[in-house]
Structure 1
Amino acid sequence: MPPERRDALRAELLAETPRWYVPAVHMLVPSLCGVAMMAIALSLIRDLTPWQLLTVPIVYVLANANEWTVHRIALHRRHPLAPVLYDQHTPKHHMLYITDDMAIRDRREYRLVLIPAYGLFLIFVTAIAITAVIWWLGFRNVACLYAATAIGYAVSYEWLHLSYHLPHDHPVGRSRLIRGLRRHHAIHHDPRLMQRWNLNVTVPLWDVVMRTVAEYPPPAQCDRE
């Protein structure tokens, strides 16, 4: 999309932003709620054993795989069960932000980068429901570790994704780790690659497992697929 068309799209999307929208509230309220729930979950742990700690890496890997799967199935293809995910992601987010121009221009654009607050709270509610089942089965510490890890993963997704779309001179982007992850995500924003490649937004673990890591410029097979 030519720059002037993206500028027009940006203006159109910003014009659609409700007057009551406050970017800082969108960023901080769900995140602080998530951190509070993590703290509560960790405070309920009693007599932790080493094998129970395995819950953390197991849940992290499963969350990473789920992130990759949802991104591929629902965010870049219109899924009948959740068409809104595609509508908010591909025609808006990916049309506005491309590999060589990822930065937001206006804080109101947070709503184009962050998960809608209701979506993040739905993730929290789902995690709490699963936690309740694990607790009911008699695995108190596993339940607490699951809750802390799953909710923490969702919060980290939000913060990392936003950091990739901040201006390049922003202090957050000075970290070598953030620069590397941002580059991985920026490559995903190439229209030729977005449906299949670099689908992890957090750590690209499942991209490595599924062999969907692409470099830039894209190799010939990426152009064909």
Structure 2
Amino acid sequence: MDTSAFRQKFRSEKIPRNYSGLFHLILNFSFLVFSTLLALSQVFELKVWEIMAIPVTLVLGNLVVFTLHRYPLHRPMPFFGFSYKIHTKWHHRFFTDEKLVFDLTRDFFIVFFPTWIVLGFVFLVLPGIYLLLSPIFSANYVFLTMAMGSFYFLSYEVVHFASHLPEDHFLIKIRFFKFMRDYHKIHHNPKLMRDCNFNIVFPFFDIIFNTYLSPRKQNASSNISS
């Protein structure tokens, strides 16, 4: 089954009739923006050392995304069967390197995280972070960690969405989004998806773990093979 046929089948069988892609986008972004701002509003009289919560959380977020994406989302593992199916069997069949762009706002169903995951993050993970860190660190450090966790999740959704936009979209004129789109496009090559370019917001841990394949190298290897 080619990609176009799979998309038609997926839309008719998996996407609910009353689904609204724009409502999905608004819900996800609203909860993540609100939780980021709410946590930041609890920060007062910030000390210099507490600012370390920002880079620490962003780097840890990058590592979490890399690890989950490289392993359970692309390799069948116990307890992650449904996640593997959604990501590898659905998302990577719906989007390939040759057909990377969504056609309809209804396709947001397979672009963004399900809203229940966002709600779980906001109402379970963030309070869990607070309970875990508050006995150890200052309130400012804890709330900055929570804010950056939400901000990273929001950044993930934005960058991943931009990576599935048309190449001539105004956002892709911005060098960063152009770079991340080209980088993510390589990951959607069915022959490469289990091997490289697992980060979304920035390829920090792909570089560290030598799973980064640059668009230049990919183009060069494609030219050689052809």
TM-score, normalized by length of structure 2?
0.91
Counterparts of 1:1-225 in structure 2, within 5 Å, are 5-16=2-13, 17-124=15-122, 125-137=124-136, 139-215=138-214, 216-217=218-219, 219=221
**Aligned alpha-carbon RMSD (Å):** 1.8
More off after superposition, 133-142 vs 191-200: 133-142
Q: How far does residue 217 in structure 1 lie from its aligned partner after superposition?
A: 3.9
Whether the 8 Å contact between 2:58 and 2:148 is mirrored in structure 1 is: yes
Q: How far does residue 153 in structure 1 lie from its aligned partner after superposition?
A: 0.4
The letter of the residue matching 2:116 is Y
Q: How far does residue 88 in structure 1 lie from its aligned partner after superposition?
A: 0.6
State how many pairs are aligned: 218
Q: How far does residue 25 in structure 1 lie from its aligned partner after superposition?
A: 1.3
Q: Which ranges in structure 1 are unaligned for 5 or more consecutive residues?
A: none
Q: Tell me, in whole angstroms, the C-alpha distance in 1 between the residues paired with 2:169 and 2:207.
A: 29
Q: Tell me, in whole angstroms, the C-alpha distance in 1 between the residues paired with 2:7 and 2:105.
A: 12
More off after superposition, 93-102 vs 205-214: 93-102
Residue identity over aligned pairs, in percent, reads 28
Q: How far does residue 137 in structure 1 lie from its aligned partner after superposition?
A: 3.8
Q: How far does residue 219 in structure 1 lie from its aligned partner after superposition?
A: 5.0
Query: What do the CA deviations read for 1:145-190 (whole angstroms, capped 9, x no partner)?
Result: 0000001101110111011112222222221110001101001111
Q: Tell me, in whole angstroms, the C-alpha distance in 1 between the residues paired with 2:200 and 2:87.
A: 13
The letter of the residue matching 1:132 is L
Name the SS of the counterpart of 2:44 in structure 1.
coil
Q: Which ranges in structure 2 are unaligned for 5 or more consecutive residues?
A: none
Q: Tell me, in whole angstroms, the C-alpha distance in 2 between the residues paired with 1:152 and 1:41.
A: 10
Q: Tell me, in whole angstroms, the C-alpha distance in 2 between the residues paired with 1:194 and 1:138.
A: 39
